[in-house]
Structure 1
Amino acid sequence: MTRRTALVTGGAIRVGKAIALALAEQGYDIALHYNQSSHEAVQTAEEIKKFGVKAKLYQANLTQPEQCKALVDRVFKENDLSVLINSAATFPETDTIMDGLADWEATMGLNLRAPLMLSQAFVDNTPLSGHIINILDARINQPAGDHLVYRLSKSGLWHLTESLAQDLAPNIQVNGLALGAIMAPPGASQDHFERMAEKIPLARTGSPKAVGEAVAFLVGQEFITGAVLPIDGGEFL
Structure 2
Amino acid sequence: MDLNGKVALVTGGGIRVGRALVLALAKAGCDVLIHYGQSADGAMEVKAEAESLGVKAIAYSANLSDPVATETVIPKAIEAFGKVDILINSASIFPDEDRFYQTDVALWDRIFAINLRAPFQLSQAFAKQIPPDGQGKIININDARIPRPNTDHFAYRLTKRGLWDMTEMMALELAPRITVNALALGQILEPPGEPDPEAFLKAFAEEHIPLKFCGNPKVVTDSVFFLLGQEFLTGSTITLDGGENI
Measured against the shorter chain, the TM-score band is over 0.9
Match of residue 34 from structure 1: 36
Alignment of 1:34-183 (within 5 A): 34-79=36-81, 80-101=83-104, 103-127=107-131, 128-183=134-189
**What displacement does 1:234 show?**
1.1
Name the stretch that deviates more: 2-11 or 173-182: 2-11
Q: 1:202 aligns with which of 208, 211, 214?
A: 211
Does the 8 Å contact 2:179/2:235 carry over to 1? yes
Unaligned runs of 5+ in 1: none
Does the 8 Å contact 1:19/1:213 carry over to 2? no
Match of residue 211 from structure 1: 220
Q: TM-score, normalised by structure 2?
A: 0.92
Match of residue 26 from structure 2: 24
Q: Secondary structure at the match of 1:97?
A: coil
Partners of 1:22 and 1:137 in 2: CA distance: 21
Q: Secondary structure at the match of 1:98?
A: coil
**What displacement does 1:222 show?**
1.4
Q: Does 1:193 align with 2:223?
A: no
State the one-letter code of the partner of 1:194.
K
**What displacement does 1:187 show?**
4.0
Does the 8 Å contact 1:26/1:216 carry over to 2? no
Q: Secondary structure at the match of 1:175?
A: strand
Q: 1:228 aligns with which of 226, 237, 243?
A: 237
State the one-letter code of the partner of 1:4.
K
State the one-letter code of the partner of 1:215.
V
**What displacement does 1:46 show?**
1.5
State the one-letter code of the partner of 2:223.
A
Relative contact order: is structure 1 or structure 2 higher (C-alpha 8 Å, sep ≥ 6)?
1
**What displacement does 1:178 show?**
0.2
State the one-letter code of the partner of 2:224.
V
What is the total number of aligned residue pairs between the two structures? Answer: 236
Q: Secondary structure at the match of 1:133?
A: strand
**What displacement does 1:194 show?**
2.7
Partners of 2:222 and 2:32 in 1: CA distance: 16
Partners of 2:61 and 2:145 in 1: CA distance: 30
Q: Secondary structure at the match of 2:227?
A: helix
Q: Secondary structure at the match of 1:186?
A: coil
State the one-letter code of the partner of 2:149.
P
Identity of aligned residues (%): 47
State the one-letter code of the partner of 2:114.
L
Q: TM-score, normalised by structure 1?
A: 0.95
**What displacement does 1:25 show?**
1.7
Partners of 1:100 and 1:3 in 2: CA distance: 44
Q: Secondary structure at the match of 1:36?
A: coil
Does the 8 Å contact 1:73/1:125 carry over to 2? no
The CA RMSD over aligned residues, in Å, is 1.3
Unaligned runs of 5+ in 2: none
Q: Secondary structure at the match of 1:177?
A: strand
Partners of 2:101 and 2:63 in 1: CA distance: 28
Partners of 2:102 and 2:17 in 1: CA distance: 27
